[in-house]
Amino acid sequence: MNRFWSEMARRTEPYVPGEQLNRAGIIKLNTNENPYPPAPRVTEAILEAAQGLRLYPSPTADSLRRVIADTEGLGPEQVFTANGSDEVLAFSFMAFFGPGKAIRFPDVSYSFYPVYSNLFGVPFEEVPLRDDFSLDIEDFSGAGGVILPNPNAPTGIYEPLDGIRRILEGNPDCVVIIDEAYIDFAGPSAATLISEFDNLLVVRTTSKSRSLAGLRVGYALGHPGLIEGLVRIKDSFNSYTTDRLAQAGAEAAFRDMAYFEETTAKIVATRGRSAMRLAELGFTVLPSSANFLFCTHPQTDAGTLYEELKSRNILVRHFGKPRIKDFLRITVGTDEEMDKLFGALEEILNDFK
Ligand code: PMP
């Protein structure tokens, strides 16, 4: 600990993301990136936007917000954009959560939530998931705020909208954030409930289904009052937020619906096939509605599997948290990448027989 650190720096346990090894030949299935490139027009739009780099970007990202609003059937005043959904989440913590009554999130969910809670001094309670990793809806009622990923991460389990509605009804006086980073691989979005609940904020990203993890564009959808709260924070901390290249690239991605639908369908098909193959190899696989599979092998330690795969140039994710230490989270790659993974797993599991 450094003697110059502020109280905030001292109490913060930084989030450790999955390894970003990008050496040649590596099969990277550890941070839920999309295995397909962004829509073809994206690069062209970024190059065009680069002509204007001398100038600041639109601080309100008007053009991008309009195309997102049109895609969602909402008004632009119901859309907020920032640098990745991580920044949208950070702004949301600052705008809607504070000291006082604890916010709640599931005991297995996105590991950034406790990081932001500690950073911004927000008390929190982790609500245990049931044995099958599903949400215990009633346990979320009467909180000081709620945040949960749907589908959940890293389990991949999707909570149907009826459950989300009950969480909203049980929390009329605080903000409920549904983090839909993986919703495009799942069922209907909570965005359809925005017209009924002025305390619902839906947070999304272009990092997964739009193949733009490197561009850092996330967004929030909600009642104009909530969006206004986020804008106040944004204007104080980073008044231009998303840059010119990001705004142009993301807009081009949203304009190509056909490409988005095609690549998403391919990932969903590969996910189904991969879940079956993992089960044949003896894994227990949780039902996934995301672009990853969460699985455990009853006879083989997950840490060992992770290391063995890594030594074969295949990166997957292993979490240290006690409840999930026997699990691996495997991003759905291309069919070819998944076949290489299954070949390696077969070899490793045979060696351990
Ligand atoms: N929420 C969840 C549940 C995630 O898994 C991730 C990605 N790790 C994010 C938010 C952040 O995504 P990004 O900042 O790339 O938009």
Do 102 and 218 lie in one domain? The reply is: yes
With tokens 């351990």, the residue in question is 352
With tokens 């995301």, the residue in question is 290
SS3 content of the chain, % helix, strand, coil (to 5): 40, 15, 45
Task: For the chain, give the percent of residues with pLDDT over 90.
Answer: 90
Q: Which residue has the higher pLDDT, 221 or 16?
A: 221
Residue 4, strand partner residues: none
Mutation test residue for ligand 1: of 92, 158, 205, 319, the one with most atoms within 8 Å of CB:
205
What's the CATH code of the domain at 345? 3.90.1150.10
Burial class (CB in 10 A: 0-12, 13-18, 19+), 278: buried
Residue 11 lies in a domain: no
Are 299 and 351 a contacting pair, CB within 8 Å?
no
- Tokens read off for 212: 């733009």
Nearest CA to ligand 1 atom 6: 181
Do 52 and 85 lie in one domain? The reply is: yes
Residue at a domain's end among 255, 276, 293: 255
The C-alpha atoms of residue 152 and residue 133 are separated, in whole angstroms, by 9
pLDDT tens readout for residues 61-108: 999 999 999 999 999 999 999 999 999 999 999 999 999 999 999 999
**What does the pLDDT read at residue 1?**
81
Do 76 and 167 lie in one domain? The reply is: yes
The C-alpha atoms of residue 152 and residue 51 are separated, in whole angstroms, by 40
Do 152 and 281 lie in one domain? The reply is: no
Do 242 and 278 lie in one domain? The reply is: no
Do 124 and 171 lie in one domain? The reply is: yes
Do 209 and 318 lie in one domain? The reply is: no
The C-alpha atoms of residue 43 and residue 37 are separated, in whole angstroms, by 10
The C-alpha atoms of residue 151 and residue 158 are separated, in whole angstroms, by 4
Give the model's confidence band at 353: pLDDT under 50 very low, under 70 low, under 90 confident, else very high: confident
Query: Domains in the chain: how many in total?
Result: 2
Q: Which amino acid is at 107?
A: D
Domain range spanning residue 312? 20-37+258-351
Q: Which residue has the higher pLDDT, 210 or 7?
A: 210
Do 284 and 219 lie in one domain? The reply is: no
Residue list, ligand 1 pocket, CB within 6 Å: 84-86, 110, 149, 153, 179, 181, 205, 207, 213, 218
Across 121-127, average pLDDT: 97
pLDDT tens readout for residues 296-325: 999 999 999 999 999 999 999 999 889 999
Do 238 and 293 lie in one domain? The reply is: no
Across 125-137, average pLDDT: 96
Do 57 and 170 lie in one domain? The reply is: yes
Whether pLDDT at 22 is above 80: no
Residue 7 lies in a domain: no
pLDDT tens readout for residues 254-302: 999 999 999 999 999 999 999 999 999 999 999 999 999 999 999 999 9
Do 178 and 50 lie in one domain? The reply is: yes
Nearest CA to ligand 1 atom 8: 31
Mean pLDDT of the chain, nearest integer: 96
Q: Which amino acid is at 342?
A: F
Across 184-196, average pLDDT: 97
Q: How far is the CA of 37 from the centre of ligand 1 (A)?
A: 18
The C-alpha atoms of residue 36 and residue 266 are separated, in whole angstroms, by 10
The DSSP annotation for 42-86 comes to HHHHHHHHHTTTTSPPPTT-HHHHHHHHHHHT--GGGEEEESHHH
Residue 1 lies in a domain: no
This prediction's pTM:
0.96
Are 149 and 181 a contacting pair, CB within 8 Å?
yes
The C-alpha atoms of residue 296 and residue 324 are separated, in whole angstroms, by 9
Do 133 and 154 lie in one domain? The reply is: yes
What's the CATH code of the domain at 185? 3.40.640.10
